[in-house]
Amino acid sequence: MKKLIAACAVIGMICFSSSALAAENISIKVKNKQLQTDSAPVIVQGRVLVPLRAVSESLGASIEWNQQQKTAIVTKWSKKASLTVGKKTARVENSAAGETFDVSLDVTVRTINSRVYVPLRFISEQLGYKLDYKNNTISIQSPYAGRYNENYFAQILSGDLSRSRSILVGNMSAYGLRNYEHPPLETTYPAYSEAFLFPEGEALRFFMIENNETITLFEYKDDFFVATWQAHVDEIESNAIEQLFADKLKDRTGSTPKINKPFLYFYVKPYGSTVHGCGLIDVDGNYTETGYKDATHSFGTISLVLPNEVRKEIVPIT
């Protein structure tokens, strides 16, 4: 991730020729809506700079200003960027991945008419958004719009329920998809087992259990999958699902959610001899296994949907 962000910041700035358009002729759209600001973009050394607060807040980020250090801190979920007036570097932090490092900028951070201006592409891409420039308009779009494969991510948000869950199961191990509302809890060992509990008819919120120890509720929230709640089980050697439903948990980050629905349960042990299993958990926490497969035997059917289950959520990508 460090290399990706550095590359976006250093070589990915929006570039114009020396005969670039006047700044007041450049408009900004955030998820197809015109951004109204009291300070227009400016062009410095062929780069477009924008008022930091207006753009960041339009993306759901918070801004903290340190007057003494002349530093603005932009925060959204697990990601934080600190930019100091007069400097050509930014301090980047991603608590989900445990990374903190400095990134070089092509243009110095500055104040214009009492507003802090920064390179647009750095802010949008640091927060994970897609940016494009065409016909005098800068467009900032969802992280899933046009990134990697738009159709691939569209399936997460509004496609077939089984396909959506399959993509999430296959990708949530990578911290690149994770954001955290609270400081993330640690798992004792690298994940050697993962389990997922999807509420009936849903893919965009689910519990993920790692190593039968750490339980996380992920929800699609403000353009990202966010860990809105976490806890450790009381006893690692005991069944994590039973402890979740019995509320035998510790180290909670926030209030324990109550989801009064049956769950599709799917688990995988991807290391060594891969094991898959699935089943139904009723509203009282009773588990019925409907499929199992390992290297030597299997029974039932491994499926990421319950019988007659229909998706009840549709989220457009903008």
Longest dimension (CA), the chain: 70
The two three-digit tokens of residue 170, written as one number: 């296959």
Using an 8 Å Cβ cutoff, are 267 and 195 in contact? yes
Q: Is the per-residue pLDDT at 243 higher than 90?
A: yes
CA–CA distance, 48 with 69 (Å, rounded to integer): 24
Return the pLDDT at 174.
65
Partners of 111 in the beta sheet? 116
CA–CA distance, 61 with 109 (Å, rounded to integer): 18
> How many CA atoms are closer than 13 Å to the CA of 66, on its beta-carbon side?
11
CA–CA distance, 118 with 210 (Å, rounded to integer): 39
Closest to 191 (Cα-Cα) out of 208, 167, 178: 208
CA 234 to chain centre: 28
Q: Is the per-residue pLDDT at 318 higher than 60?
A: no
Return the pLDDT at 275.
86
Burial of 115 (0-12, 13-18, 19+ CB in 10 A): middle
* 279-292 mean pLDDT: 93
3-state DSSP percent of the chain in helix, strand and coil, to 5: 20, 40, 45
Asked whether the CA dihedral 120, 124, 126, 130 is positive or negative, the reply is: negative
pLDDT digits (tens, 9 = 90+) for 97-111: 788 999 899 899 999
Return the pLDDT at 272.
61
Burial of 19 (0-12, 13-18, 19+ CB in 10 A): exposed
Using an 8 Å Cβ cutoff, are 259 and 199 in contact? yes
Return the pLDDT at 2.
42
**Residue for token pair 């390179």:** 119
Q: Is the per-residue pLDDT at 300 higher than 70?
A: yes
Name the pTM for this structure.
Answer: 0.79
- Of residues 145 and 315, more confidently modeled: 315
Return the pLDDT at 151.
60
* 271-280 mean pLDDT: 83
Domain boundary assignment for the chain:
2-141, 150-300
**Residue for token pair 């993962």:** 194
Return the pLDDT at 156.
83
- Domain covering 2-141: architecture: 2-Layer Sandwich (3.30)
Confidence band of 270 (pLDDT split at 50, 70, 90): low
Q: Is the per-residue pLDDT at 73 higher than 70?
A: yes
Return the pLDDT at 216.
95
